[in-house]
Amino acid sequence: MQIVHVITRLIVGGAQENTILSCEGQHGLGHHVTLITGPPLGPEGSLLDRAQTGGYGVEVLDAMRRAVLPVKDVGTYRHLVRRFRELRPDVVHTHSSKAGIIGRWAAHRAGVPVVVHTIHGLSFTASTNRAVNWTYRQLERATAPVTARMVCVADAMAEQSLAGGVGNREQYVTVYSGMETGPFLNPPVSREEVRKSLGIGEGQVVVGTIARLFELKGHEDLLELAPDLCARFANLRFLWVGDGVLRAEFERRIGQMELRDRFILTGLVPPSRVPELTAAMDVLVHPSRREGLARAIVQAQLSGKPVVTYDVDGNREGLVAGETGFLLPAFDKGKLSDALAVLLGDEGLRRRMGEKGREFAMRRFDAKVMVDALEKVYREAREKVA
């Protein structure tokens, strides 16, 4: 098949990693794959270099930006229509909110037979501005009829989209986001070496996060709980993997609480280091306010770590509650503190949950499972329009 993927930007993030793994897997199956993306602008780091060494076609469209920019957006639409007509793809597969809307309409205009869109997270719940959410909901409703299949990274995405009046049930299919499992099963640098390099002492218990230091990721909840947990557990250390615009503010608050010795902030790290840093943790906590399905909780389970997360969006499909970790009522900081305390005080429980989590994550989230599932989605959609 001739397959074209479209995504707004290749920053370090779950949707972007999912897209690259899809391109790599489909290229490996012998398909002709092209990835069209905007420049990887932002503090999160770039995955463009990896994409450009994947053996498939990569095109960077400078006009494609995350922000709403009418002149550039019209230029992006026209460029995509032209490229689709030149490439004549069997399938156009879009990712992310803005590229999903512009890309699907461009594919429809160009006469592409199968148009697929992956919902990594809901566009019409992403903003705190009701007018913005309303606008995206109307755009998604209008774009659904030109979409053959809407792939969701969790069943929850389909249910919430349907509740918002977007498309019909027959259009939706769940394909869990794939991971490169090997580096998490066998990290390139040993746990002992990584912990030593971070200044983590023997006997210290590390509660880690993997997320941008940004709004809605839940770091504020952890800061509220930290003084009490640190007072109760002298061996507790927090390891925050990631960077973002709120780093200075978080560091200021940590200093005010006199807990600088309890927090390790790695800053921006390349994706290749995430497996070894996850292996250095003892527990993964992910208190984010919104997700499609958080890759961090899957990565932690692949590393054999128990997870603690809020029951938002698709997270309940990313673990086995009570067996591989704790799924908590959304934003209940009291329950969050209690769950962390249970794990901090019970090494055996951490080990048992971690072992079950690894087995579960391998069955559901291996990259090959995702690529094979997308292959089926494409072929069934092509048969329907043939």
What are the pLDDT digits (tens) for 253-308?
A: 999 999 999 999 999 999 899 999 999 999 999 999 887 789 999 999 999 999 99
| pLDDT(73) > 80 | yes
| pLDDT(77) > 70 | yes
CATH of 2-178+366-385, one of 3.40.1410.10, 3.10.20.440, 3.40.50.2000, 2.40.50.1020: 3.40.50.2000
Of 79-83, 288-292, 337-341, 342-346, the range with the lowest mean pLDDT is 288-292
Average pLDDT over residues 47-51: 95
The DSSP annotation for 216-268 comes to TSSHHHHHHHHHHHHHH-TTEEEEEEB--TTHHHHHHHHHHTT-GGGEEEEES
What are the pLDDT digits (tens) for 181-229?
A: 999 999 999 999 999 999 999 999 999 999 999 999 999 999 999 999 9
| pLDDT(126) > 70 | no
For residue 134, give the amino acid letter: W
d(CA 303, CA 183): 9
| pLDDT(356) > 90 | yes
Domain at 182-365: CATH code: 3.40.50.2000
d(CA 166, CA 144): 6
Average pLDDT over residues 48-56: 96
Neighbours of 192 (CB within 10 A): 12
| pLDDT(14) > 70 | yes
Predicted confidence band at 45 (pLDDT cuts at 50, 70, 90)?
confident
Q: Where are the domains of the chain?
A: 2-178+366-385, 182-365
What integer pLDDT is reported at residue 279 of this predicted model? 98
Q: What is the edge-to-edge ordering of all strands in the sheet holding 307-310?
A: 263-267, 236-241, 205-210, 283-286, 307-310, 325-328
| pLDDT(130) > 70 | yes
Say what the pTM is: 0.82
What integer pLDDT is reported at residue 129 of this predicted model? 83
Select from 278, 119, 128 the least CA-distant residue to 191.
278
What integer pLDDT is reported at residue 128 of this predicted model? 67
What integer pLDDT is reported at residue 43 of this predicted model? 78
What integer pLDDT is reported at residue 271 of this predicted model? 87
| Percentage of the chain modeled with pLDDT above 90 | 88
d(CA 23, CA 348): 40
The residues that bridge with 36 in the sheet, in sequence order, are 6, 59
Beta-strand pair 32-38/114-119: unpaired
Tokens of 152: 């969701």
| pLDDT(68) > 90 | no
For residue 141, give the amino acid letter: R
